[in-house]
Amino acid sequence: MRVTTWAEYGLIVSLHLAKQGREAPTPARDMAKKEGLPADYVEQILLKLRRAGLVSSVRGAKGGYYLAREPETISVKDVIEAAENRTFEVNCDVHKVSAVRCHDGNPCSIRPVWRELQRRVDDMLASISLGDLMLQEAEVQELIAV
């Protein structure tokens, strides 16, 4: 169980854009270079973020990307879902062990575990915004430790 680089990079570039402000667009290539990430790959991720409506883009020279909304209104969950299509994926839904076993009608005492786990993961990730992540590491830590 782990997050992929799609989510990790997606978060890095989103945060980068948040810090850049929303006045002028930032080229993908510049961002990739500054963050030390593969440029072509970053572009793919930005494409996903744009399609999800999290970032906007300006084509042509002097173009680039900028955050579509205020950092405070974009959650970590938003970014991960945009980049990775899901946060926590429950096997009962997608990678079923078997059609019979995982059918809704068939009782399964394990199912509630995954469902509840998903709920808690989503709750936590939805509670953190890009605005929060613009703080220092120690401050963020304090913020999310309930």
Partner DNA sequence: TGCTTTCCGACCGTCAGTATCGGATATTTA
Partner DNA sequence: TAAATATCCGATACTGACGGTCGGAAAGCA
133 binds, among its own copies, DNA, none (CB under 5 to 8 A by kind): its own copies
Do the beta carbons of residue 22 and residue 66 sit within 8 Å? Answer: yes
Structure token pair of residue 15: 């945060």
The contacts found for 47-55 with CB under 8 angstroms, 24 or more apart, are 48/6, 48/10, 48/82, 48/83, 49/10, 49/13, 49/14, 49/79, 49/82, 49/83, 51/82, 52/78, 52/81, 52/82, 54/14, 54/78, 54/79, 54/82, 55/14, 55/17
Closest separation between CB of residue 141 and DNA, Å?
25
Q: Does 9 bind its own copies (CB under 8 A)?
A: yes
Closest separation between CB of residue 92 and its own copies, Å?
9
Q: Which residues bind DNA (CB under 7 A)?
A: 4-6, 9, 25-29, 38-41, 43-44, 46-47, 50-51, 57-65, 95
Complex with its own copies: residue 58 or 128, whichever CB lies closer = 128
Q: Which residues bind its own copies (CB under 8 A)?
A: 1-5, 7-9, 11-12, 15, 36-37, 76, 84, 86-91, 94-95, 97-98, 100-101, 107-117, 120-121, 124-125, 128, 133-137, 140-141, 144-145
